[in-house]
Amino acid sequence: MIKFLFYISLLLILLSLLVFCQRRTFVHVKIKGVLIDYFANQPIMAELQLQTDNPSLFNKSGVLKKIETKNDGSFDLKSRAIWKKEYYLGFIAKDSSISGFVFGGKIENNSTVELGTIYPEHRFNCLLTLNSISSNTLHISNYSNNYIYYPGTNKTITHSTFYSKDVFESQNHNYIINYSIDSAFASYYRSLKIPIINNSNLTATLNF
């Protein structure tokens, strides 16, 4: 009788563990949305990566799920849930022109986050021809870097930047290059505005 009760108890414990594991298997989170290039007004073909821990697209640890957007830029990502963890959803465009994170935070188990239409930053490039016409020195900022061009410099450089949809609109669709010119007497801070019409690859000339 004691052995019988022991086996019954053991069987109940195993059944409880099985049910618990099955429930944990179906605990999930979902994130849905659409990636659209606001400038080109077309879907973004990209790989999406859901991860935890360090929010870096180049971090290989903590990756839960990878999927690709559909032809219309939409995605419907479903992944197993992680207890008491924050989730980070990043993307890398197929043409590698843009990347970034579109979500970061906590998600309740068995729930869906609707991100709607997402407009990531767009990359703009400008072929800038520099012409030295004086003894002045030119300083050009690009991202967090500052470049110095001395008198006698005549060359073409590539200046690039990323604009969000809001910044693009607030600048009235202009590409802006901030620079300063140092003369023997003073420094002058200026901006070169280049209209962006229908192409994100621009050209301009700057005399200094």
Last residue of a domain, one of 118, 133, 150: 118
Q: What would the pLDDT profile of 103-120 be if each residue is shown by its tens digit?
A: 999 999 999 999 999 999
Domain that holds residue 145: 122-207
Q: Which H helix or E strand runs over 22?
A: helix 2-25
If one counts the domains in the chain, the total is 2
Which of 183, 179, 185 has the alpha carbon at shortest distance from 148?
179
Contact 194, 206 (CB under 8 A): no
Asked if residue 48 and residue 112 are part of one domain, the reply reads yes
Residue 17 in domain: no
**pLDDT-derived band at 8, boundaries 50, 70, 90:** low
Which CATH number fits the domain that encloses residue 96? Answer: 2.60.40.2190
pTM for this predicted structure = 0.75
Q: Which H helix or E strand runs over 20?
A: helix 2-25
Exposed/middle/buried for 61, CB within 10 Å: 0-12, 13-18, 19+?
Answer: exposed
pLDDT(189) > 90: yes
Asked if residue 168 and residue 112 are part of one domain, the reply reads no
Asked if residue 165 and residue 184 are part of one domain, the reply reads yes
How confident is the model at residue 22, as a pLDDT? 41
Q: What would the pLDDT profile of 55-78 be if each residue is shown by its tens digit?
A: 777 667 788 999 999 999 999 999
Euclidean distance between CA atoms 126 and 202, whole angstroms: 4
Last residue of a domain, one of 118, 134, 168: 118
